[in-house]
């Protein structure tokens, strides 16, 4: 199978959202997510220390995308450039046709169903354009909204990694959820 590089990354849109390729300038807007301890509570990483650290993250993410190892989008509202979220696939193995799905949204946009609207388009892209056979997500099981969102898309919990991550100085579990191409509606 030929190696796929998604350069440029196609834009995806929904009635309320535009998913576009990330740019380094998104670091300022994404600090509202990655610098917020509450938003990062279930992410398995410490809050970002500033724009420079986020620019480094975006640089790494864009490099993995150029190598065909990820596909990530900045989430914007129609007619705006300001990113309110970040989502996509990472740990993409083209040989094994699998990738991990992740997503983050700024706190002012929680509870509005935006990820519920965006993720079906991203999952469809993963199985269609990226030719994935399997996608998985790792979630802190205390993040019940994220667990419900993934299960609503057809993901099944396949396991629980006990005490596998640190959150706020304490060990916590990680739920592993998976979705196969044959299970996608």
Q: Could you report the per-residue pLDDT of 143-164, keeping only the tens digit for each?
A: 999 999 999 999 999 999 999 9
Structural domain spans, the chain: 12-132
> Are 123 and 96 in contact, with CB atoms under 8 Å apart?
no
CATH topology of domain 12-132: Aminopeptidase (3.40.630)
Neighbouring C-beta atoms of residue 86, cutoff 10 Å: 25
Average pLDDT over residues 30-44: 88
C-alpha dist (Å) from residue 121 to 108, 129, 178: 22, 11, 17
Q: Could you report the per-residue pLDDT of 69-128, keeping only the tens digit for each?
A: 999 999 999 989 899 999 999 999 999 999 999 999 999 999 999 999 999 999 999 999
Average pLDDT over residues 14-27: 96
């Amino acid at each position: 199978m030929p190696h796929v590089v998604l350069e440029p990354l196609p834009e995806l849109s929904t009635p309320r959202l535009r998913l576009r390729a990330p740019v380094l300038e998104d670091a300022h807007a994404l600090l509202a997510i990655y610098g917020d301890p509450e938003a990062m509570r279930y992410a398995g990483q410490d809050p970002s220390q500033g724009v420079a650290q986020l620019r480094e993250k975006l640089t790494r993410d864009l490099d993995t995308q150029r190598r065909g190892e990820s596909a990530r989008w900045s989430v914007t509202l129609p007619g705006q450039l300001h990113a309110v979220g970040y989502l996509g696939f990472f740990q993409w193995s083209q040989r094994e046709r699998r990738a991990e799905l992740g997503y983050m949204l700024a706190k002012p946009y929680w509870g509005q169903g935006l990820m519920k609207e965006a993720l079906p388009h991203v999952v469809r892209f993963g199985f269609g354009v990226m030719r994935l056979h399997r996608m998985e997500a790792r979630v802190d099981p205390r993040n019940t909204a994220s667990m419900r969102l993934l299960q609503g898309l057809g993901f099944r919990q396949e396991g629980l990694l006990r005490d596998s991550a640190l959150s706020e100085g304490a060990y916590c579990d990680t739920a592993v959820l998976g979705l196969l191409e044959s299970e996608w509606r």
